[in-house]
Amino acid sequence: MLRTRVLPALLGAAIVLTALTLLIAAAGKPLGESFQIILQGATGYPRTDAYGPEDAWDAVLHDMTLLLLTGLAVAVALQAGLFNIGAAGQLLIGALAAAWAGALQGVPSGMHLPTALLAGAMAGALWAFIPVWLKVRRGAHEVISTIMFNYIALYLTHWLVTERLKDPAGDAPQTAMIADPARLPLLREDFLQASWGLGIAVLIALGLWLTLYRTVWGYETRATGANRDAADAAGVPTAQRMVEAMLLSGALAGLAGAIEVCGTQYRFFEGFPGEYGFDGIAVALLAGNHPALALLSAWLMSALRSGAYHLHAETGAPKEIAVVVQAALILYMVAVYLRKRRVEG
């Protein structure tokens, strides 16, 4: 446990701190003050009149919800030996489907929110189906196909929101507002972004942990990812498990988009934040594809995002600092992952 999970995580944290230090220095900002501002952005302390813990936790818990779901999406696919780079596109498709379902007329009020969330999850799963079908039937590499489907999702949603699903009451490229019964309540009255979607994400993470490590399906899925040939020889239906894992992965990413619509934005619009799908890669790799550890890595990545954006707002330092640090972390974790696969196989 120490060598396989704790040490890589500690080295990842050291890389984050080193990269953050170098980037702040390159931006010409004082290190001590900058780290204090980043800490303030992540936790709200030290409190000021303009920014306090409520503001920080609102942003951090909002981002954590989306990063946890997209991180779980990447993690469950990796457990089956698939690298799903398409979570961003699946999130966009899921968000648009949820916005459409949330604005439908005649849906019973008690069913409107579940209908919107289910529509988002199903749309994300559907968007993941063709890449995994191409993988198991034709041997097409899922990294290439899911990246291509990201671009298809981006331009398809752009066309739909400007031509077919555009709000008739306005000129902006966006859908109509979802109905009040289709909205997720906020975690606190003084929050503006963080909703009870976080509770859904946490329950899914715990359920996925139990499923992957306490059920036959989970064992067979992990066996497929560890060594498909050996799993085939043992009688595991590896193609079926790969399809199921990828569909679940797409559903989780689509659900992330649905929660963003139902809990924060209340509509879909051109430029909808799909970057959480890519950031989920860092969450999954930092957690070693473990659903329970993804809770911690999602919080760490969301705190880093919030701190970096607060640093940008306070000092003018580039807000892309968080993106560069995440990229360095992804490269490190991919190297760890590839080394582990080489040693095991």
Cα–Cα distance for residue pair 38/59, rounded to 1 Å: 13
Token output for 193: 């972004």
Task: For residue range 89-99, list pLDDT tens digits in order.
Answer: 999 999 999 99
Confidence (pLDDT) at 106: 93
Q: Quick one: pLDDT at residue 326?
A: 81
8 Å CB contact between 96 and 157:
yes
Question: Which residue ranges in the chain fall short of pLDDT 70?
Answer: 1-6, 9, 337, 341, 343-345
The confidence score (pLDDT) of residue 46 equals: 85
pLDDT (0 to 100) of residue 97: 98
Quote the pLDDT of residue 175. 97
Shortest CA distance to 294 belongs to which of 79, 143, 121?
Answer: 79
263 CB-near residues (< 8 Å, 6+ apart) = 65, 183, 184, 186, 193, 195, 196, 197
What is the structure's pLDDT at 55?
92
- pLDDT of 94 reads 98
- Per-residue confidence (pLDDT) for residue 338, from 0 to 100: 74
Per-residue CA distances from 1 to 6, 7, 229 (Å): 7, 9, 26
From 309, 337, 305, 345, select the one nearest 12 (Cα to Cα).
337
Tokens standing for 344?
């095991």
Q: What is the pLDDT of residue 133?
A: 97
33's tokens:
């003050």
* Residue 161: partners with Cβ closer than 8 Å, 6 or more residues away: 96, 173, 174, 175, 268, 269, 270
Domain tally for the chain? Answer: 1
CATH of the domain at 193: 1.10.3470
Query: Is 52 exposed, middle or buried (CB count within 10 Å of its CB: 0-12, 13-18, 19+)?
Result: middle
Task: Write b or e for each residue in 66-84: b if 16 or more Cβ atoms lie within 10 A of its Cβ, otherwise e.
Answer: bbbbbbbbbbbbbbbbbbb
Look at residue 343 in the predicted model and tell me its pLDDT. 67
Q: Which domain holds residue 218?
A: 2-344
| Residue 36 pLDDT | 93
Cα–Cα dist 29/25, whole Å: 6
Cβ atoms < 10 Å from Cβ of 173: 19
The tens digit of pLDDT for each residue in 70-85 reads 999 999 999 999 999 9
Q: Is 128 in contact with 246 (CB distance < 8 Å)?
A: yes
Residue-by-residue DSSP string for 233-274: HTT--HHHHHHHHHHHHHHHHHHHHHHHIIIIISS-BTT---
Confidence at residue 344, expressed as pLDDT on a 0 to 100 scale: 62
